[in-house]
Amino acid sequence: MEQIIIHVDMDAFFASVETRDNPALHGKPLIIGSLPQERGVVATCSYEARKYGVHSAMNIKEAYRRCPNGIYMHPNMDKYKAVSARLHEIWNTYASAAEAIALDEAYLDVTEQAKSMEGARRIAMTIKQRIKDELGLTCSVGVAYSKTAAKAASEEKKPDGYFEIPTPQDFVNLMLDRDVRSLYTVGEMTAEKLYASGIRTVWDLREKKDTVIRLLGKQGKWICDLAFGIDDRKVTPYRPQDAKSISREVTFQEDVNNHTLLKDVLTLLALCVEHRAKRYHLYGNGVTLKLTYFDMKGITRSRLTADCNSAVMIRREAVRLLDHVEKRPVRLIGVGIYNLSGEEGRQLTLDDFLNDKKQQRETELTGLLQDLQARYHLDFAGHLTQLYQSDILYKTVEYMRKHS
């Protein structure tokens, strides 16, 4: 049996949740992300805001220029994650495999459950109705023979839409005259390379396949396959242990030139990275430091190490990296661990057998937190776990910056 895949995509998810919870926002241009006076970008926005040309990932200053009368809000990630958990419960009911792409989007393999496109249509309509009845939200759903086609189908009738692409030929017929950007994986830079070679549409990709492959290599072959409707990828459930890295970063509202403050922020970021790694029983073998300077120049530095599984060691390695980079005003700082493995794939180190090493790290962490408390008049007692929430971390870092 040919695979049958459903792609579910919530409509303006964050904005829709806020509008559901506050009907006074209905019909208003709502922008979720940073506030106009802050640094940052748009996370998502209502369809009313999109009429002004606002879109996700847009610089918040540009969004405000286009839509000065919009309503701007910080995201409430805890609320959205709770709603997302309920969404996934609904989706998973009808699929043999579910691949979550984001909080609000997933591919569902319904081949066995549906048996046919008609069966898939019934499942899709049931999902849409349950989301509306149980959560008060709308979604757009595409049903197709492949992941690429299913995603294209869900985009076709947004918002609150439904569309089917049963066969590769149906996909080709739909996409043939469209811009290359309409295909999965074709981003702005790739599109510019294609445009420069006179390749602007999906039809052009098919007609100039050799040119595309010569220009883009393996990526070009993949894009050309899509232009012919070929995509045999399976729905693969996401597993945290499959991640290549774990990281956390913050953007300062004003550039920071205070090296002590940067090291203090690394303490908090390292705690967040440690928390997430422990949550999924993952271990890293390398530390990465990320910086964006005031002029938007970004750098990344990394260091392999067999011992970077505690906040103390993550911070220690990140500080070493920080001490060897150019000292200029910093706009963004981040830290992460990479070369991840699970418990069964981890090579034990001597420290695993030495309790005094663990005690030393706990003592060092206590000292670091006491330094923060003394320097910024913060009280972490009983509140340390709140730092793992994005909004609390951001507010804490901004408080530290203002009082440094």
Q: Is 364 a catalytic residue?
A: no
Task: Tell which residue, 324, 319, 395, has the closest CA to residue 364.
Answer: 319
Which is the catalytic residue, given 48, 105, 164, 317? Answer: 105
Which residue numbers are catalytic? 105
